[in-house]
Amino acid sequence: MRGLIKHIASCSSIGLVTALLAVSSLTAQIKAKLDTTQMRIGEELQLLIEVKADSTDFVMFPEGKNFGDFEVIRSYPVDTLSDKSQRHLWELRKKYGLTQFDSGVYRLTKQRVMINDSAFDTPEFNVAVLTIPVDTTQQQIFAIKPSAQVPLKNGYFGFLALLIALIAAGILGYYFWNRHKSQRREKKPPPLPPYEEAMQRWKILNQKRAAEGFDAKPAYSELTDIIKTYIDREIDHRALESTTDELIDRLVLHKMGDHFDLKQETINGISELLHRADLIKFAKSQVTAQQWDLDQNHGLTLIQELKSSIPLPEAIDPQLALDAEALAKRKQKAKRVGQALTALAVFLVVMSTYVAYVGPLEAKDQIFGNAMRDLKEGPWYTSEYGVPAVILETPEILMRKTFTHPDQDSLSAKSTAIFEAFALEDDFYIAVTSTEAQPGQKWNASLALNRSLVLLEEQGARTLIVKDEAFETPEGIKGIRAYGSFYVANAYGKTGTEPHQYELLVFDQMGGIQTVMVAYVDDKRFAQELKDRIINSVSLEIPESNQNPKQP
């Protein structure tokens, strides 16, 4: 019995919550209204949504870039008002700024407002978008301005040109620096043999003594340096960095090792002279000019005795000399090859790391450039061409070209304006034509398509494959969409081997035809996106005489 009571109580609670939610949904009210149902192109159309709901309800207004055929250009903040008659109710107001850039009658579709878990839809509206009439009676009409040359984009070509210039400057700088270094090396005289150098320095010291007089400290410093330098070059390469005692000990070791035929008297004479020079240089010991003359001549004698103690070099076999020279050349060549291989390995490692980091295609585009990518990522221009105007967005501004009608065409034309970017044989080509018929000449879309294909063949298209279907612009203008592929013949009549894909839109209105064609070599990456963006941007100017929007 007690369990039954609990079950009834729980069912009553659930029913009460459901009833409260139902009451909350019933009290909620949705209203929507526009400030006008007629607007001009580009004006702001204001949509106001009013919601009355309980203060505890969760309300979510619609969001998005487009409401039906209209673009949302502004979303105003929610304005909250309290209902004085019923304080538990709130009035929420949300305003949107909408616009449309093409003339015609457009539908503002239902927009959904969420209150808790319930959905409420606003009513639909029909809005007429009118063009702005141009007053041609009160102002002067000027002639069409000549086409202007658009500066080329730098892109990767400028980067490559700068890189090549830097590399060339580096090579030239290294060449001239190496040449200057070689010239300086050639100008520097080769060093004298050790004995000739010692004799020349001794003679200069003797002449200086006769010209300037006797100064003990610098004289003995120069004499000991002459003897030590000769020993360093001919007998012991550590003589210049050794003290007097260390040098004498090493000379004794050379004598004991039979490295040189040194006499003990010579070693003792060197020791006596060097120790006296040390006393004069560091202990300021006094010495007479007569003693200096004896020591100077003794130094010359010691150098001569040292020279006689050095064994004569053995005769070198000419063949061994040639072999040694050839071996040195091979080592030098192997060294250069090793340096080149090391540089190549470093370059390959750096390039492999770079390619692995950015990807092969990205690396190829950055190093060698990619014209399709430059078009896709560069600036785009929205322009009007011909009368009535064909409006489209392109990566390059189209230039007006002179065109002669083919005689074999059965359709006569009063005038034709053709606008192009690039050439038909290029990897990407854009063309817009506007042809005015002769008075009394009636054309239809099929004849217009045939004429467009004839004109395409006149430009060099061969082996045309054509598929066509009906097409209609957002303004309601009907035409034909043709697509397929063709090959391009050059000026000598030779047909290329790479197929070009194309898409051609043909419209007939105002007693003439208008065409938009995009042809490209499919690179499986950017060409298709370029074509789609251009084709999707195509719109036609609707003459004001054709506008008769119905009032909603």
Instruction: Tell which phi-psi region holds residue 153, choosing left (phi > 0), alpha (psi between -120 and 50) or beta.
Output: beta
Give me the pLDDT at residue 396, please.
92
Q: Which two tokens stand for residue 76?
A: 């105003």
Give me the pLDDT at residue 13, please.
39
Give me the pLDDT at residue 135, please.
57
Q: Which two tokens stand for residue 218?
A: 């610098």
Q: How far apart are CA 274 and CA 130, in angstroms?
A: 114
Q: How far apart are CA 109 and CA 97, in angstroms?
A: 15
**Domains in the chain: boundaries:** 30-130, 194-309, 333-369, 372-546
Q: Which two tokens stand for residue 326?
A: 């050839």
For residue 93, the number of C-alpha atoms closer than 13 Å in the C-beta half-sphere is 10
Tokens 């502004």, residue located? 74
DSSP state, 440? T
Give me the pLDDT at residue 381, please.
92
Question: Is the domain covering 372-546 a CATH 3.30.1490.190 domain?
Answer: no
Give me the pLDDT at residue 394, please.
93
| Centroid of chain to Cα 31 | 53
Number of H helices and number of E strands within the chain?
Answer: 12, 22
**What is the fold, at CATH topology level, of the domain defined by 30-130?**
Immunoglobulin-like (2.60.40)
Give me the pLDDT at residue 534, please.
93
DSSP state, 276? H
Q: β-pairing, 125-130 with 38-40?
A: parallel
Low-confidence ranges of the chain (pLDDT < 70): 1-28, 83-87, 133-143, 145, 147-163, 165, 175, 179, 182-189, 313-317, 402-415, 437-443, 510-511, 542-552
Q: How far apart are CA 327 and CA 76, in angstroms?
A: 87
Give me the pLDDT at residue 187, please.
56
Determine contact, residues 73/79, Cβ cutoff 8 Å. no
pLDDT digits (tens, 9 = 90+) for 147-189: 665 554 444 555 556 667 677 777 777 767 776 776 665 556 6
Give me the pLDDT at residue 429, please.
93
Gyration radius of the chain's alpha carbons: 50
Q: Is the pTM above the cut of 0.75?
A: no
